[in-house]
Amino acid sequence: MAHHQKGFSRADRVAEQIRRELADLLRLELKDPRIRLVSLTAVEITPDYTHAKVFYTSLADSAYRSEIEEGLRRGAGFLRRELGRRIRLHHTPELHFVYDISVERGTELSKLIDAAVQPPKSEKPDEPLK
């Protein structure tokens, strides 16, 4: 990389590159129907680059979460090998997939905020507010 991004460490840049490459692999290479509605939200990497925690979310119903987890777990070896081909690191990190509940929480908070800021409804809709 020719230019240095301010405020981002090498680990941050590597983690983001891992997230982008894995997202591509999930979308284009992994033919497991269980993971087609998965979005990768973030990657955290250990300082020695041996382990990567890959956070994901899914549009699928929460009832399918265990199937998605199984699909990701089964595809982890393939994903790690392909990642090793795409990213030059001394060690390709072991991948650990973690469901990202922050997205769900964010959606719930948005709904609560929307409900809280709704203007009060008039008792009689035809009557102008005074």
CATH no. for residue 53?
A: 3.30.300.20
CA 58/CA 66 separation, integer angstroms:
12
Domain that residue 15 falls in: 10-116
2 located within any domain: no
1 located within any domain: no
5 located within any domain: no
23 and 55 Cβ atoms separated by less than 8 Å? no
Identify the pLDDT of residue 102. 81
- pLDDT tens, 87-125? 988 889 999 999 998 877 777 777 888 888 877 665 555
CA 15/CA 2 separation, integer angstroms:
18
**What's the mean pLDDT in 71-79?**
95
64 located within any domain: yes
| Structural domain total, the chain | 1
C-alpha atoms less than 13 angstroms from C-alpha of 28 in its C-beta half-sphere? 7
Higher pLDDT, 52 or 130: 52
Identify the pLDDT of residue 116. 86
3 located within any domain: no
129 located within any domain: no
56 located within any domain: yes
| Whether pLDDT at 85 is above 90 | yes
The pTM (predicted TM-score) of the whole model is 0.75
Identify the pLDDT of residue 1. 42
| Whether pLDDT at 2 is above 50 | no
108 located within any domain: yes
pLDDT band (50, 70, 90) for residue 3? very low
